[in-house]
Amino acid sequence: MFDLLVKGGTLPDGTVSDIAVTGDRIVATGRVEGAARQVIDATGDLVCPPFVDPHFHMDATLSYGIPRVNASGTLIEGIALWGELREIATVDEMVARALTYCDWAASMGLLAIRSHVDTTPDHLRTVEAMLEVRRQVAPYIDLQLVAFPQDGLYRTATGRENLIRALEMGLDVVGGIPHFERTMEDGAESMRDLCRIAADRGLRIDVHCDETDDPLSRHVETLAREVTRHGLGARAAGSHLTSMHSMDNYYVSKLLPLIAESGMCAIPNPLINITIQGRHDTYPKRRGLTRVKELQAQGITVGWGQDCVLDPWYSLGTADMLDVAFMGLHVAQMTHPEEMARCFRMVTEDNAAIMGLDGYGLRKGCIASLVVLDAGNPTEAVRLRAERLVVVSKGKIVSRRARNDARLALPGRPETVRRRIERR
């Protein structure tokens, strides 16, 4: 007897398959015969591995309006507001907000998150709070925590010391923000220093890199060089990379092969990049997104990140990675059928690869975490931002939602409408 049996679902590659679960593992796929304690009928629905967010700020989430709203909508004002908030926010407040967000995430099938944790303040209450959140959500969400010196590794007197303290407290990933250092030279040196720290400790590194409209902000070049030097490869990621959209095309033609040679990954955050970047432009106004398709054409793994939800930088958000993919599809102009399907993979498989998740997928032996979506295929899921009908985390059903068909009262027309397209 299986613990759980998902019957007749359509997998992202178009295969129709049952999925049998015992404990927290997938034990059989294909046509599965046998009884189960719980059965989910997924006939005609898309069944996918869980959504993954490789870039988020959980210490600030759901704090919108505290101590006030970001009137200019700029990155700099958001950082200043957060600088005030982190000094008055208690550990309990940050834990409560983060746990509420994790409830949202679980309901949306978002079961793995990498969150940057500000290590600037000497009190490190941010670190204490996020470690407690990681402990509490471990049964259903995999939470990776990045030691992130929000105000710069060198720009504050104890920036480097606090980052090391945070890593020793148990954070998982080395972070940085070279474009926020006082000089370009300091930014480049921070990249060399942080990559050494990651290599010496055997950790991953994920850097807020060149999150600016300045085409001369080129710290990704140094990051790629140091990733190659230390052999960090796919354990390294450059997040945002927004300056690349303003760079000279000839320089980019040199830069992209260097990034590809390093083996590092890239994490643009379309909802936030399109909102924050270009604030100093009149018209034409820059899109604020890095060169996604060009990076992918070089074989570089690119994943979409959420970044922010209801915090000093972003006034919207619902923990829906399909919203992220939907915005990314539009801003990056990824409208070919293969590109649209790729956008779905970017918030599932590609993001899982960036985070280095073990046991991710729908194969026999994988961790039994999956989502049943009210859609027939990945592109339809992005188009509809499809309802998550069932969410299973580590073998347990953690969320259910009724199918939300609209009821019509139109003469001569069907009684209900679902907005799905039947493929024949």
Of the listed 181, 211, 226, 380, which one is catalytic? Answer: 211
Q: Is 211 a catalytic residue?
A: yes
Strands 36-41 and 2-10: parallel
Distance separating alpha carbons of residues 39 and 2, to the nearest angstrom: 9
Task: Answer for the pair 419, 405: CB distance below 8 angstroms, yes or no.
Answer: no
Distance in angstroms (rounded) separating the CA atoms of residues 84 and 90 = 12
Residue pair 276/72 in contact (Cβ under 8 Å)? The answer is no
- 132 and 139 Cβ atoms separated by less than 8 Å: no
CB atoms within 10 A of CB 392: 26
Token duo for residue 311: 């915090």
**What is the rounded CA–CA span in Å between residue 298 and residue 341?**
18
Query: Which DSSP helix (H) or strand (E) runs through 393?
Result: strand 388-393
The owner of tokens 């991953």 is: 204
Q: Report residue 66 as tokens.
A: 């505290």
Maximum Cα–Cα distance across the chain: 72
**Residue 50 to residue 169: CA distance in whole angstroms:** 28
| Cβ 142 vs Cβ 111: under 8 Å | yes
Distance CA 402, CA 351 (A): 28
Catalytic residue IDs = 211
